[in-house]
Amino acid sequence: MNKMISSVSPHFHQPRTTRTIMLDVIIALAPAVIASVIFFGLRSLLVIVDCVAVAIAAEWGFEKLCKKENTVGDLSAVVTGLILALNLPVDIPLWQAALGSLIAIVVVKQLFGGIGQNFANPAATARIVLLTAFSGTMTSWAVPKAFEMLPDTTTGATPLTLMAKGDTANLPSYLDMFLGNTGGCLGETSALALVLGGCYLLARRVITWHTPVAFIGTVALMSLVCGKDVLAQVLSGGLIIAAFFMATDYSSTPATKWGKVIFGVGCGLITILIRFWGNFPEGVSFSLLIMNILTPYIDKLTRAKPLVGEVDE
Protein backbone atom coordinates (compact mmCIF):
# COMPACT_ATOMS: atom_id res chain seq x y z
CA MET A 1 0.00 0.00 0.00
CA ASN A 2 1.27 3.42 -0.86
CA LYS A 3 2.02 5.82 1.93
CA MET A 4 -0.56 8.54 2.23
CA ILE A 5 0.28 12.16 2.87
CA SER A 6 -0.45 13.25 6.40
CA SER A 7 -0.48 16.97 7.01
CA VAL A 8 -2.14 19.48 9.27
CA SER A 9 -5.26 21.30 8.06
CA PRO A 10 -6.08 23.32 6.04
CA HIS A 11 -5.58 21.18 2.98
CA PHE A 12 -6.56 23.96 0.58
CA HIS A 13 -4.53 27.08 -0.08
CA GLN A 14 -5.18 30.11 -2.19
CA PRO A 15 -3.14 30.21 -5.40
CA ARG A 16 -1.33 33.46 -4.56
CA THR A 17 2.33 33.08 -3.62
CA THR A 18 5.19 35.46 -2.92
CA ARG A 19 6.23 35.01 -6.53
CA THR A 20 2.83 35.98 -7.97
CA ILE A 21 2.75 39.05 -5.72
CA MET A 22 6.17 40.14 -6.96
CA LEU A 23 5.10 39.45 -10.53
CA ASP A 24 2.11 41.73 -9.99
CA VAL A 25 4.42 44.49 -8.77
CA ILE A 26 6.63 44.05 -11.85
CA ILE A 27 3.56 44.27 -14.10
CA ALA A 28 2.42 47.36 -12.23
CA LEU A 29 5.81 49.02 -12.80
CA ALA A 30 5.75 48.34 -16.54
CA PRO A 31 3.98 51.63 -17.43
CA ALA A 32 6.62 53.57 -15.47
CA VAL A 33 9.39 51.70 -17.30
CA ILE A 34 7.79 52.51 -20.64
CA ALA A 35 7.37 56.15 -19.62
CA SER A 36 11.03 56.37 -18.63
CA VAL A 37 12.10 55.11 -22.05
CA ILE A 38 9.79 57.59 -23.78
CA PHE A 39 11.00 60.56 -21.78
CA PHE A 40 14.64 59.75 -21.11
CA GLY A 41 15.57 57.55 -24.03
CA LEU A 42 17.07 54.08 -24.26
CA ARG A 43 19.74 54.72 -21.64
CA SER A 44 17.05 54.41 -19.00
CA LEU A 45 16.59 50.81 -20.11
CA LEU A 46 20.31 50.29 -19.64
CA VAL A 47 20.13 51.60 -16.06
CA ILE A 48 17.14 49.36 -15.34
CA VAL A 49 18.79 46.24 -16.75
CA ASP A 50 21.96 47.09 -14.85
CA CYS A 51 20.17 47.45 -11.51
CA VAL A 52 17.98 44.37 -11.96
CA ALA A 53 20.85 42.18 -13.11
CA VAL A 54 23.08 43.22 -10.24
CA ALA A 55 20.24 42.73 -7.75
CA ILE A 56 19.65 39.19 -9.00
CA ALA A 57 23.36 38.42 -9.01
CA ALA A 58 23.80 39.85 -5.51
CA GLU A 59 20.90 37.81 -4.14
CA TRP A 60 22.13 34.64 -5.80
CA GLY A 61 25.75 35.24 -4.84
CA PHE A 62 25.05 36.08 -1.21
CA GLU A 63 22.83 33.07 -0.73
CA LYS A 64 25.35 30.83 -2.43
CA LEU A 65 28.09 32.19 -0.22
CA CYS A 66 26.08 31.74 2.96
CA LYS A 67 24.73 28.38 1.88
CA LYS A 68 21.19 29.64 2.15
CA GLU A 69 18.25 28.59 0.03
CA ASN A 70 18.22 30.30 -3.34
CA THR A 71 15.33 32.77 -3.43
CA VAL A 72 15.94 34.44 -6.79
CA GLY A 73 12.82 32.64 -8.04
CA ASP A 74 10.52 34.65 -5.79
CA LEU A 75 11.31 37.71 -7.98
CA SER A 76 11.72 40.01 -4.99
CA ALA A 77 15.26 40.91 -6.06
CA VAL A 78 13.93 41.89 -9.48
CA VAL A 79 11.40 44.20 -7.83
CA THR A 80 14.09 45.79 -5.63
CA GLY A 81 16.40 46.36 -8.61
CA LEU A 82 13.56 47.75 -10.68
CA ILE A 83 12.36 50.19 -8.02
CA LEU A 84 15.91 51.36 -7.32
CA ALA A 85 16.54 51.98 -11.04
CA LEU A 86 13.35 53.99 -11.28
CA ASN A 87 14.67 56.12 -8.42
CA LEU A 88 17.91 57.08 -10.20
CA PRO A 89 18.69 59.80 -12.72
CA VAL A 90 19.19 58.57 -16.27
CA ASP A 91 22.79 59.73 -16.61
CA ILE A 92 24.08 58.00 -13.48
CA PRO A 93 27.28 56.01 -14.14
CA LEU A 94 26.40 52.33 -14.41
CA TRP A 95 28.85 51.31 -11.71
CA GLN A 96 27.16 53.64 -9.25
CA ALA A 97 23.76 52.18 -10.08
CA ALA A 98 25.21 48.69 -9.67
CA LEU A 99 26.67 49.64 -6.30
CA GLY A 100 23.24 50.85 -5.25
CA SER A 101 21.70 47.50 -6.17
CA LEU A 102 24.40 45.66 -4.29
CA ILE A 103 23.81 47.76 -1.16
CA ALA A 104 20.04 47.30 -1.42
CA ILE A 105 20.23 43.52 -1.67
CA VAL A 106 23.23 42.64 0.46
CA VAL A 107 23.34 45.28 3.17
CA VAL A 108 19.70 46.25 3.57
CA LYS A 109 17.99 42.96 2.76
CA GLN A 110 20.21 39.90 3.14
CA LEU A 111 22.25 40.96 6.16
CA PHE A 112 19.02 41.37 8.07
CA GLY A 113 17.82 37.89 7.16
CA GLY A 114 16.52 38.10 3.63
CA ILE A 115 13.01 38.59 2.34
CA GLY A 116 10.52 39.71 4.95
CA GLN A 117 13.19 40.51 7.53
CA ASN A 118 14.54 43.84 6.30
CA PHE A 119 13.38 46.68 8.51
CA ALA A 120 14.07 49.35 5.92
CA ASN A 121 13.06 49.67 2.31
CA PRO A 122 16.07 48.42 0.29
CA ALA A 123 15.55 50.72 -2.68
CA ALA A 124 14.93 53.83 -0.59
CA THR A 125 17.95 53.14 1.61
CA ALA A 126 20.20 52.47 -1.38
CA ARG A 127 19.02 55.69 -2.97
CA ILE A 128 19.91 57.63 0.16
CA VAL A 129 23.35 56.01 0.28
CA LEU A 130 23.97 56.95 -3.36
CA LEU A 131 22.65 60.46 -2.79
CA THR A 132 25.05 60.99 0.08
CA ALA A 133 28.00 59.36 -1.64
CA PHE A 134 27.59 60.73 -5.14
CA SER A 135 25.57 63.87 -4.66
CA GLY A 136 26.86 65.24 -7.96
CA THR A 137 25.68 62.54 -10.31
CA MET A 138 22.61 61.83 -8.24
CA THR A 139 21.29 65.34 -8.71
CA SER A 140 22.20 66.02 -12.30
CA TRP A 141 18.90 65.82 -14.06
CA ALA A 142 18.67 65.16 -17.74
CA VAL A 143 16.23 67.03 -19.84
CA PRO A 144 13.47 64.76 -21.12
CA LYS A 145 14.44 63.92 -24.67
CA ALA A 146 11.14 62.87 -26.10
CA PHE A 147 9.68 66.30 -26.46
CA GLU A 148 12.93 68.13 -27.04
CA MET A 149 11.37 69.95 -29.93
CA LEU A 150 8.58 71.32 -27.84
CA PRO A 151 9.14 74.85 -26.59
CA ASP A 152 8.17 74.22 -22.95
CA THR A 153 10.70 71.55 -21.96
CA THR A 154 12.36 72.18 -18.66
CA THR A 155 15.97 72.89 -18.12
CA GLY A 156 18.17 70.66 -16.06
CA ALA A 157 16.31 71.06 -12.77
CA THR A 158 13.45 69.15 -11.26
CA PRO A 159 10.25 70.97 -10.43
CA LEU A 160 11.07 70.51 -6.76
CA THR A 161 14.47 72.17 -7.11
CA LEU A 162 12.83 75.02 -8.93
CA MET A 163 10.20 75.37 -6.24
CA ALA A 164 12.81 75.17 -3.49
CA LYS A 165 14.67 78.02 -5.17
CA GLY A 166 11.43 79.94 -5.49
CA ASP A 167 11.77 79.89 -9.26
CA THR A 168 8.11 79.19 -10.04
CA ALA A 169 8.23 80.98 -13.36
CA ASN A 170 10.13 78.13 -15.01
CA LEU A 171 7.89 75.38 -13.58
CA PRO A 172 6.63 72.98 -16.22
CA SER A 173 2.91 72.82 -16.85
CA TYR A 174 0.72 70.54 -14.75
CA LEU A 175 0.07 68.42 -17.82
CA ASP A 176 3.80 67.88 -18.35
CA MET A 177 4.23 66.94 -14.73
CA PHE A 178 1.30 64.56 -14.91
CA LEU A 179 2.60 62.88 -18.05
CA GLY A 180 6.18 62.89 -16.84
CA ASN A 181 7.75 65.36 -19.21
CA THR A 182 9.95 66.97 -16.55
CA GLY A 183 13.36 66.50 -15.06
CA GLY A 184 13.74 63.85 -12.38
CA CYS A 185 14.47 60.21 -11.76
CA LEU A 186 13.65 57.58 -14.37
CA GLY A 187 10.41 56.34 -12.97
CA GLU A 188 9.20 59.08 -10.71
CA THR A 189 8.22 61.75 -13.20
CA SER A 190 5.20 60.21 -14.87
CA ALA A 191 2.31 60.38 -12.43
CA LEU A 192 0.04 58.87 -15.05
CA ALA A 193 2.13 55.70 -15.44
CA LEU A 194 2.55 55.28 -11.70
CA VAL A 195 -1.11 55.77 -10.89
CA LEU A 196 -2.00 53.25 -13.60
CA GLY A 197 0.32 50.73 -11.97
CA GLY A 198 -0.94 51.61 -8.52
CA CYS A 199 -4.52 51.02 -9.60
CA TYR A 200 -3.50 47.61 -10.93
CA LEU A 201 -2.00 46.72 -7.53
CA LEU A 202 -5.15 47.92 -5.79
CA ALA A 203 -7.35 45.91 -8.13
CA ARG A 204 -5.23 42.81 -7.58
CA ARG A 205 -5.37 43.48 -3.82
CA VAL A 206 -1.62 43.37 -3.54
CA ILE A 207 -1.83 46.69 -1.69
CA THR A 208 -4.67 48.52 0.04
CA TRP A 209 -5.67 52.15 -0.48
CA HIS A 210 -4.70 53.20 3.05
CA THR A 211 -1.02 54.07 2.61
CA PRO A 212 -1.15 55.84 -0.78
CA VAL A 213 -4.22 57.87 0.18
CA ALA A 214 -2.80 58.83 3.59
CA PHE A 215 0.64 59.67 2.15
CA ILE A 216 -0.46 61.70 -0.88
CA GLY A 217 -3.40 63.18 1.04
CA THR A 218 -1.14 64.47 3.82
CA VAL A 219 1.27 66.06 1.34
CA ALA A 220 -1.63 67.72 -0.49
CA LEU A 221 -3.27 68.95 2.69
CA MET A 222 -0.06 70.28 4.21
CA SER A 223 0.85 72.04 0.95
CA LEU A 224 -2.54 73.70 1.04
CA VAL A 225 -2.10 74.70 4.67
CA CYS A 226 1.37 76.09 3.97
CA GLY A 227 0.10 77.99 0.98
CA LYS A 228 2.14 76.09 -1.61
CA ASP A 229 1.21 74.89 -5.06
CA VAL A 230 -0.70 71.74 -4.14
CA LEU A 231 -0.79 70.11 -7.58
CA ALA A 232 2.88 70.75 -8.26
CA GLN A 233 3.84 69.32 -4.85
CA VAL A 234 1.82 66.17 -5.45
CA LEU A 235 2.92 65.63 -9.04
CA SER A 236 6.62 66.24 -8.56
CA GLY A 237 9.42 64.36 -6.93
CA GLY A 238 9.23 60.76 -5.82
CA LEU A 239 5.94 61.08 -3.99
CA ILE A 240 3.72 58.95 -6.18
CA ILE A 241 6.17 56.11 -6.80
CA ALA A 242 6.90 56.04 -3.07
CA ALA A 243 3.25 56.13 -2.03
CA PHE A 244 2.22 53.26 -4.29
CA PHE A 245 5.34 51.14 -4.55
CA MET A 246 7.67 51.82 -1.66
CA ALA A 247 5.52 52.79 1.31
CA THR A 248 3.51 49.63 0.60
CA ASP A 249 6.50 47.30 0.87
CA TYR A 250 5.33 44.49 3.16
CA SER A 251 8.44 43.88 5.25
CA SER A 252 9.20 47.42 6.24
CA THR A 253 5.72 48.88 6.77
CA PRO A 254 2.84 48.12 9.15
CA ALA A 255 0.41 45.31 8.34
CA THR A 256 -2.69 46.70 10.04
CA LYS A 257 -5.09 49.11 8.35
CA TRP A 258 -4.69 51.88 10.92
CA GLY A 259 -0.96 51.25 10.95
CA LYS A 260 -0.88 51.88 7.22
CA VAL A 261 -2.78 55.13 7.69
CA ILE A 262 -0.39 56.30 10.42
CA PHE A 263 2.58 55.28 8.28
CA GLY A 264 1.24 57.23 5.30
CA VAL A 265 0.47 60.33 7.34
CA GLY A 266 3.89 60.16 8.99
CA CYS A 267 5.66 59.87 5.64
CA GLY A 268 3.63 62.78 4.31
CA LEU A 269 4.50 65.02 7.24
CA ILE A 270 8.22 64.25 7.11
CA THR A 271 8.25 64.76 3.34
CA ILE A 272 6.68 68.18 3.77
CA LEU A 273 9.06 69.12 6.58
CA ILE A 274 12.08 68.33 4.44
CA ARG A 275 10.69 69.85 1.25
CA PHE A 276 9.66 73.15 2.82
CA TRP A 277 12.18 73.63 5.59
CA GLY A 278 14.98 71.14 5.03
CA ASN A 279 18.23 71.33 3.11
CA PHE A 280 17.19 68.86 0.44
CA PRO A 281 14.61 69.66 -2.19
CA GLU A 282 13.13 66.15 -1.81
CA GLY A 283 12.36 64.24 1.39
CA VAL A 284 10.43 61.17 0.30
CA SER A 285 13.24 58.64 0.76
CA PHE A 286 14.15 60.02 4.17
CA SER A 287 10.53 59.97 5.28
CA LEU A 288 10.28 56.32 4.26
CA LEU A 289 13.40 55.38 6.16
CA ILE A 290 12.32 57.18 9.33
CA MET A 291 8.86 55.65 9.25
CA ASN A 292 10.36 52.21 8.51
CA ILE A 293 12.15 52.42 11.85
CA LEU A 294 8.88 53.19 13.62
CA THR A 295 7.02 50.35 11.91
CA PRO A 296 7.27 47.70 14.68
CA TYR A 297 5.89 50.19 17.19
CA ILE A 298 3.08 51.29 14.89
CA ASP A 299 2.23 47.65 14.26
CA LYS A 300 2.09 46.89 17.96
CA LEU A 301 0.11 50.02 18.73
CA THR A 302 -2.53 49.36 16.10
CA ARG A 303 -2.86 45.62 16.57
CA ALA A 304 -6.53 44.62 16.71
CA LYS A 305 -7.84 43.51 20.07
CA PRO A 306 -8.65 39.81 19.86
CA LEU A 307 -12.38 39.11 20.06
CA VAL A 308 -12.38 37.61 23.53
CA GLY A 309 -16.11 38.22 23.85
CA GLU A 310 -18.14 39.83 26.53
CA VAL A 311 -20.29 38.26 29.20
CA ASP A 312 -23.80 39.59 29.64
CA GLU A 313 -24.02 40.93 33.15
Binding site for other proteins (CB under 8 A): 1-2, 4-14, 16-18, 20-21, 71, 74, 76, 114-117, 250-251, 254-257, 303-312
User: Which residue from 30, 51, 33 is spatially nearest to 41, judged by alpha carbons?
Assistant: 33
User: Rounded distance, CA 120 to CA 290, Å?
Assistant: 9
Q: Judged by CB, which is closer to other proteins: 142, or 243?
A: 243
Which CB sits closer to other proteins, 115 or 273?
A: 115
Contacts 24+ apart (CB under 8 A), 52-56: 52/77, 52/78, 52/81, 52/82, 52/85, 52/101, 53/81, 54/81, 54/97, 54/98, 54/101, 54/102, 54/105, 55/80, 55/81, 55/84, 55/101, 55/104, 55/105, 56/81
Q: Are 219 and 269 in contact (CB under 8 A)?
A: no
Question: In the complex with other proteins, which residue's Cβ is closer, 15 or 151?
Answer: 15
| C-beta closer to other proteins: residue 11 or 149 | 11
Phi, psi of 49 (to 5 degrees): -60, -40
Question: Coil, strand or helix: which one is 49?
Answer: helix
What Cα–Cα distance (Å) separates residue 24 from each residue in 72, 86, 143, 257?
A: 16, 17, 31, 21
- Give the 3-state DSSP-derived string for 115-162, with helices as H, strands as E and coil as C: CCCCCCCHHHHHHHHHHHHCHHHHCCCCCCCCCCCCCCCCCCCCHHHH
Cβ of residue 307: shortest distance to other proteins, in angstroms?
5
> Rounded to an integer, what distance in angstroms lies between the CA atom of residue 161 and that of residue 287?
18
What's the rounded Cα separation, in Å, for the pair 246 and 237?
A: 14
Closer to other proteins at the Cβ: 11 or 67? 11
Q: How many CA atoms lie within 13 A of 283 on its CB side?
A: 22
Q: How far is the CB of 221 from other proteins (least distance, A)?
A: 26
Q: Which stretches of 204-306 are DSSP H helices?
A: 210-225, 230-235, 239-241, 257-277, 284-301
Minimum CB distance to other proteins smaller for 8 or for 42:
8
Cα atoms in the 13 Å half-sphere on the side-chain side of 272: 23
> Among residues 166 and 306, whose Cβ is nearest to other proteins?
306
Shortest reach from residue 250's CB to other proteins, in Å: 4
**Between 161 and 251, whose beta carbon lies closer to other proteins?**
251
* Shortest spacing between CB 302 and other proteins, in angstroms: 11
What minimum distance in Å lies between the beta carbon of 5 and other proteins? Answer: 4
Q: Least CB distance from residue 110 to other proteins, whole Å?
A: 12
Q: How far is the CB of 304 from other proteins (least distance, A)?
A: 4
Distance in Å, CB of 68 to other proteins, minimum: 10
